[in-house]
Amino acid sequence: MANVNLKINNIPVTVPAGTTVLEAARLAHIEIPTLCYLKDVACVGSCRMCLVEATGARGLVAACVYPVAEGMEVKTNTEKIRKSRKMTLELLLSKHKKKCLSCERNHNCELQRLSAEYNADEDYFEGETLANPIDESAPYVVRDNDKCINCMRCVAACKKQNVGAIGPIGRGFSVHVGSAGEVKLMDSVCVGCGQCIVACPVGALKERTTVDEVWAAIGNPEKKVVFFTAPSVRATLGEAFDLPVGTNAEGKMVAAIRRLGNVEVFNMDVTADLTILEEANELVARIKNGGTMPMFTSCCPGWVKFVEQKYPEFIPNLSTCKSPQEMFGGLLKTYYCEKMGIAPENLYVVSVIPCTAKKYECKRPEMNGEVDAAITTRELARMIKTAGIKFADLPDEAFDTPFATATGGGTIFGATGGVMEAALRVAAKVLDGTFEVIDFPEVRGTAPIKEATYNVAGREIRVAVASGLANASEILEGIKAGTRKYDFVEIMACPGGCVNGGGQPTLPDSIRNSVDLKSLRAAALYTSDKTNSYRASDESPVIETIYKEYFGSPNSEKAHKVLHTHYHADKRI
């Protein structure tokens, strides 16, 4: 591809043809403000914040969609541009609910930041006072349209997921985001993935918080409170405390939770390992006994709900295994309570998860209420800040026993392809006792769809990995059409997997648009895996003890009662 030479604010820049002015400006270390643009999600040029002057153009142009040209000269900071941006902000503020001090996104809001930078007057234009009802119908997300700036990034994120639960309704000044027929979010086809939340530049969308309930349990002397943390949280929590993206903050995370009160902190990687033992043996049983194939992973509740609503014919293909979150809930309320002599009703179980759909999952009747509260990475960060804990200064501390030690296979669950690789490490050994391969690089990386074939015990095992529900649809439609043939398929609802989940820290657009979050976060997990003394889930001494003392063997009757579940068709409008 030919290169194009141009100048941005008199700085020479050379970029490939087809590059936008916005992308080219970054190479000159110039950040052009945006509100509607979000890399890999939305690029429509509708907010008008990124307007610039460019030779050959009539008037101001939107940098996020305007392509560079040979010899072009771009100005990004003239008086005309600054006045335009300031007016745009003041128009947005004229109908925006300005309750910044009590907003979830206070000090982390793109509109607030830009308004301060451009000295925008929030009362310059007298707008209409809005009073749209707050939608709190779902257990995982809250929508407040009076804070919405109609950037439509949430709509683009939902469309990109091939869910389409929300869209623009009305025209002109009355346009707003909602679901078809103006139904509540819980009654729509929303699967709870939360990608709309991390896409939103303001506070119009947030998770349905259970922090107050968790604080109450910690303060209740009649309750024993235990936390357990999902694999990906260690790779993202540090971002909420200004640590570099990709920092493995496991030790500080454990230390911080321990300082919230009289609580114990367990490692969810343990039940990721447990999931693998159950799932790998289920896969082998299906292969040997002619079970429903291909088998799909069932760790991701957003993906499971997507199947239940859009592809119910594939429900028999889902593994019957609970997710690691729900396996831990079941394990704690049975094995752990019996072992420690605790009444299950006196044990308060808190999972720390990267995912808003997990909030929905723990409310499903099939899960028997074994997880009392699921809080996101963001919610945990707020609790740590409320407690006045200086996160960056904390020492590294280890998880509490008996659920402290896990394998690298459990850790990589947080990245797309991680569940598949962890399962292959065990399933291949079950099929062929001499199989010694540990690393399966073909299923790693952030590509939307990855495929591989492995020869195990004289049989070809065909696998596929997809992240993002639009890519899941492509896989499923291919299976239906007979053009894709697999034995085992891993699906994660969120692009890149749990490291990019809807409950992860909301970072400034300047970072989201220029940093490969998915790869850097996943790298922290793979590094941890590589240095772990135990790489395959069947090597875990904790799992060995759990089976010896309680379940007997994978897929036993007792294991099915506690660790497995069922799914059902859920046709929405």
Q: Which of 104, 110, 282, 490 is catalytic?
A: 282
Q: Which of 361, 379, 490, 539 is catalytic?
A: 361
Structural domain boundaries enclosing 171: 102-198
| Active-site residue flag, 358 | yes
239 with 301, same domain? Answer: no
pLDDT classification of 1: cutoffs 50, 70, 90: low
d(CA 542, CA 406): 7
d(CA 339, CA 558): 16
- The CATH number of residue 425's host domain is 3.40.950.10
Structure token pair of residue 269: 């990687």
d(CA 481, CA 471): 15
527 with 451, same domain? Answer: yes
452 with 527, same domain? Answer: yes
**DSSP strand pairing (295-296 vs 449-456):** unpaired
Tell me what the pLDDT averaged over the chain comes to: 96
Q: What is the pLDDT of residue 435?
A: 87
Find out whether the peptide bond into 67 is cis, omega within 30 degrees of 0.
no
Residue 572 in domain = no
Closest CA to 235 of 509, 504, 420: 504
Q: Is pTM, for the whole model, over 0.85?
A: yes
543 with 426, same domain? Answer: yes
Q: What is the pLDDT of residue 129?
A: 73
Q: Which of 160, 310, 333, 358 is catalytic?
A: 358
Closest CA to 238 of 340, 52, 138, 384: 384
Q: What is the pLDDT of residue 130?
A: 72
| Active-site residue flag, 115 | no
d(CA 401, CA 408): 18
Cα-trace Rg, the chain = 25
Residues 324-367 have pLDDT tens digits of 999 999 999 999 999 999 999 999 999 999 999 999 999 999 99
| Active-site residue flag, 319 | yes
| Active-site residue flag, 250 | no
Residue 31 in domain = yes
Domain end residue (candidates: 358, 387, 416): 387
Residue 340 in domain = yes
160 with 219, same domain? Answer: no
Which residue is associated with the tokens 């079941």?
Answer: 330
d(CA 496, CA 453): 21
298 with 333, same domain? Answer: no
Residues 255-273 have pLDDT tens digits of 999 999 999 999 999 999 9
Residue 382 in domain = yes
Q: Which of 366, 436, 544, 549 is catalytic?
A: 366
Contact 204, 196 (CB under 8 A): no
482 with 555, same domain? Answer: yes
Closest CA to 462 of 315, 313, 287, 318: 287
Domain end residue (candidates: 387, 414, 438): 387
Number of domains in the chain: 4
Which region among 66-80, 169-183, 195-209 has the lowest average model confidence (pLDDT)?
169-183
| Active-site residue flag, 514 | no
Q: Which of 47, 50, 299, 494 is catalytic?
A: 299
316 with 338, same domain? Answer: no
pLDDT classification of 241: cutoffs 50, 70, 90: very high
Centroid of chain to Cα 374: 14
d(CA 467, CA 303): 10
Q: Which of 188, 319, 323, 351 is catalytic?
A: 319
| Active-site residue flag, 299 | yes
Residue 247 in domain = yes
- The CATH number of residue 113's host domain is 3.30.70.20
Q: Which of 36, 100, 109, 498 is catalytic?
A: 498
Q: What is the pLDDT of residue 255?
A: 98
Q: What is the pLDDT of residue 433?
A: 87
Residues 490-515 have pLDDT tens digits of 999 999 999 999 999 999 999 999 99
Q: What is the DSSP letter of 525?
A: H
345 with 307, same domain? Answer: no
Domain end residue (candidates: 77, 93, 119): 77
- The CATH number of residue 259's host domain is 3.40.50.1780
472 with 448, same domain? Answer: yes
Q: Which of 104, 110, 250, 279 is catalytic?
A: 279
pLDDT at residue 573 tops 60: no
| Active-site residue flag, 200 | no
Find out whether the peptide bond into 294 is cis, omega within 30 degrees of 0.
yes
376 with 433, same domain? Answer: no
Residue 571 in domain = no
Residues 142-173 have pLDDT tens digits of 999 999 999 999 999 999 999 999 999 998 88
pLDDT classification of 427: cutoffs 50, 70, 90: very high
Contact 286, 295 (CB under 8 A): yes
383 with 415, same domain? Answer: no
Residues 304-327 have pLDDT tens digits of 999 999 999 999 999 999 999 999
Residue 287 in domain = yes
- The CATH number of residue 27's host domain is 3.10.20.740
Residue 84 in domain = no
Residues 32-72 have pLDDT tens digits of 999 999 999 999 899 999 999 999 888 999 999 999 999 99
